[in-house]
């Protein structure tokens, strides 16, 4: 060892005997923050919020009401109510959309689910203390029927005949045994709604209200529209229902309370005095149940009560019926030569006729080609469409003169997946549930086999259900008018999906299904980002002629549509399809 060297030093943490445990360091103490420093976390956001209100309040005082500058300031600085309804600018929707969508998802699915189970508990525990409801304002007797003349468009089966007996809709199918003396949950096998609500649910009977059932059928294609009219979602054990309808005369919504008695055909051969069908259910005289769902019969009765009697809803205007179920403005396009002229529906004050109305010229006109583009635009925006005015030449092809129909779809379909040629097609439904078009693109037409891509795209089924397709060129030659009621779409049009009433977990399953569709299938974001507000204003040509874009039905692109083709078969003796 070098004598000049000092004592040996060890590396930090080591000595001559080995590893030394590190000495415990006292915890570092951070100096306490001054109370004023903590207040800045609260003062700064409040100051920004105050500045926001100050700027907006100053602009509201300086800018004239209803001026473009004022509307612009409201749009960008005070659009919170519009944000909740989905009408705010796109920037606000993107930034605050997740929070708004969460609120709406909770509003749409949770409260209805909880309410249904509370309703079930009430009837299970207190049903024995209740009684069946009978509407004294619209009693189940001949005074509510009025002088019914029957469906004049259907001479073979549309006439009322025989005596009438009133039967509760929930008793069309029920448990075996005597009828209960008090409302009993689960006694009825009938359903208010069953499966998907669709146009095929509507079946016309002996009442001449094809205009109303056509309105129901075309509105049924809009999810949530029909069940949104009912305050109940299940068959009521006491037979009491509340249905909201819009009164165009006073421009207000009314709540129509009815019982579930519906007129049926009487028969002395049955022990109960009721004429029955092959499935054992009573034979309803007017709107008939589709399977075991009864909503069409109840909605028809609500209209009858609104108008005074069943006879009072015979022979009407389909557009009026659509407006009464949507609260929107209605108009129609009548064909004159090669032009479609717009006529606006105007309600008239008449204490004796709730449906008094007329049409007035609107100064809008379109040729056949332009009118198809306009109809397709309305269809994609969610408008409710109907048609009628069949010409005598159409009667030879299976169409019914003096009858109202639903216009369900307006489509342009490529002839094949690689072609630039396309057909212009419309889908129509007869509210009778039978009786169809026999010309080109009818159920028996070989065109469906010749053009498989069209068949797959339009999901053609070939069932005799009163629904059929026509090519636009044939439609223009044989029909007289098209009715239109614009219908708003957005988050407030979404409802809890229809559930199975006999399943105890049905509401919970519907809640999970609705949430899955809301988030996983992006139905919620789509209704929020691409909302549509109903309007009766004229649509400019550059709007419905757009080649691509987004709307309530999703994204679309028409850049590849080049040549329109048609199948020539029946007009003017043309053959060869």
- Give the pairing of strands 421-429 and 563-564: parallel
DSSP 224: T
Which of 79, 113, 210, 387 is catalytic? The answer is 210
Backbone angles phi, psi at 57, to 5 degrees: -65, -40
Residues 6+ apart with CB under 8 A from 531: 85, 86, 87, 488, 489, 490, 491, 552
Count other Cβ atoms within 10 Å, centred on residue 310.
25
Contact 151, 158 (CB under 8 A): yes
Structure tokens at 89: 């600018």
Angle at 225 between CA 236 and CA 91, to 5 degrees: 130
- State residue 471 phi and psi, 5-degree precision: -80, 145
The closest of 81, 37, 75, 33 to 56, measured between CA atoms, is 75
CA-closest candidate to residue 135, choices 295, 288, 260 = 260
Cα gap 573→202, rounded to integer Å:
36
Query: Any idea what DSSP says for residue 7?
Result: S
Name the one residue in this structure whose structure tokens are 């008090």: 182
Tokens of 548: 């691509």
Give the Cβ contact number of residue 556 at 10 Å.
Answer: 13
Count CB-CB contacts under 10 A for residue 333: 23
Nearest Cα neighbor of 340 from 384, 387, 409, 401 is: 387
**Active-site annotation holds for 511:** no
Q: At what angle do helices 90-126 and 506-519 cross, to 10 degrees?
A: 180
Residue 237: CA atoms inside 13 Å, Cβ hemisphere, count? 23
How far apart CA 283 and CA 291 sit, in angstroms, is 13
φ and ψ at residue 334, rounded to 5 degrees:
-100, 135
- Give the CA-trace dihedral at 75, 81, 86, 87, to 10 degrees: -30
Containing H/E element for 381?
A: helix 368-381
- The pair of structure tokens assigned to 528 is 């929020």
Strands 481-485 and 467-471: unpaired
Q: What is the DSSP letter of 292?
A: T
CA quadruple 570, 571, 574, 576: dihedral, nearest 10: -40
Task: Considering the candidates 264, 430, 476, 532, report the single residue annotated as catalytic.
Answer: 430
Specify whether the CB–CB gap between 306 and 452 falls below 8 A: no
Both tokens assigned to 239:
């037979």
Please confirm, yes or no, whether 227 is among the known catalytic residues: no
Write down the catalytic residue from 104, 171, 379, 403: 403
Q: What letter does residue 100 receive in the DSSP assignment?
A: H
Burial class (CB in 10 A: 0-12, 13-18, 19+), 440: buried
DSSP state of 82: H
CA 19 – CA 260 distance, rounded (Å): 92
Q: Catalytic positions, please?
A: 210, 403, 430
């Amino acid at each position: 060892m070098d004598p000049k060297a000092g004592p040996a030093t060890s590396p930090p943490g080591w000595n001559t005997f080995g590893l030394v445990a590190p000495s415990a360091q006292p915890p570092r103490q951070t100096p306490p923050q001054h109370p004023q420093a903590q207040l800045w976390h609260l003062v700064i956001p409040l100051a920004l919020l105050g500045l926001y209100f100050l700027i907006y309040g100053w602009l509201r005082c300086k800018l004239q009401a209803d001026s473009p500058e004022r509307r612009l300031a409201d749009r960008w600085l005070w659009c919170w109510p519009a944000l909740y309804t989905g009408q705010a600018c796109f920037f606000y929707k993107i930034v605050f959309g997740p929070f708004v969508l969460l609120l709406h998802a909770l509003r749409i699915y949770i409260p209805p689910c909880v309410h249904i189970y509370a309703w079930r508990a009430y009837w299970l525990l207190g049903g024995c203390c209740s009684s069946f409801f009978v509407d004294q304002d619209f009693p189940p007797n001949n005074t509510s029927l009025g002088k019914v003349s029957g469906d004049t468009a259907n001479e073979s089966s549309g006439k009322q005949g025989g005596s009438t007996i009133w039967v509760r809709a929930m008793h069309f199918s029920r448990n075996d045994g005597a009828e209960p003396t008090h409302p009993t949950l689960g006694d009825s096998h009938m359903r208010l709604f069953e499966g998907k609500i669709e146009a095929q649910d509507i079946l016309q009977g002996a009442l001449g209200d094809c205009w109303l059932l056509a309105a129901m059928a075309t509105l049924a294609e809009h999810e949530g529209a029909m069940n949104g009219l009912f305050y109940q979602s299940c068959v009521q054990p006491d037979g009491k229902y509340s249905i909201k309808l819009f009164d165009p005369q006073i421009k207000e919504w009314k709540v129509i309370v009815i019982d579930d008695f519906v007129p049926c055909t009487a028969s002395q051969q049955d022990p109960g005095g009721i004429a029955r069908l092959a499935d054992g259910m009573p034979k309803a005289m007017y709107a008939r149940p589709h399977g075991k769902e009864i909503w069409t019969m109840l909605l028809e009765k609500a209209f009858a009560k609104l108008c005074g009697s069943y006879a009072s809803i015979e022979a009407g205007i389909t557009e009026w019926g659509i407006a009464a179920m949507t609260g929107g403005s209605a108009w129609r396009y009548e064909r004159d030569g090669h032009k479609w002229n717009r006529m606006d529906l105007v309600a008239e004050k008449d204490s004796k006729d709730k449906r008094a109305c007329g049409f007035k010229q609107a100064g809008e006109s379109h040729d056949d080609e332009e009118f198809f583009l306009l109809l397709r635009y309305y269809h994609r925006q969610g408008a409710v469409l109907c048609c009628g005015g069949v010409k005598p030449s159409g009667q030879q092809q299976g169409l019914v003169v003096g009858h109202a129909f639903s216009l369900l779809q307006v489509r342009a379909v490529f002839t094949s997946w690689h072609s630039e040629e396309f057909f212009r097609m419309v889908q129509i439904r007869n509210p009778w549930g039978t009786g169809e078009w026999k010309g080109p693109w009818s159920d028996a037409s070989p065109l469906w086999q010749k053009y498989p891509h069209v068949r797959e795209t339009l999901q053609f089924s070939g069932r005799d259900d009163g629904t059929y397709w026509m090519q636009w060129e044939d439609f223009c030659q044989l029909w007289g008018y098209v009715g239109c009621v614009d219908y708003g779409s957005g988050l407030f049009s979404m409802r809890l999906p229809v559930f199975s009433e006999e399943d105890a977990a049905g509401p919970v399953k519907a809640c999970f299904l609705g949430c899955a569709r809301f988030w996983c299938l992006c139905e919620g974001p789509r209704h929020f980002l691409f909302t549509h507000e109903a309007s009766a204003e004229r649509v400019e040509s550059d709007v419905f002629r757009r080649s691509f874009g987004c709307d309530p039905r999703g994204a679309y692109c028409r850049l590849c549509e080049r040549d329109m083709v048609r199948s020539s078969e029946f007009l003017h003796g043309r053959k060869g399809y």
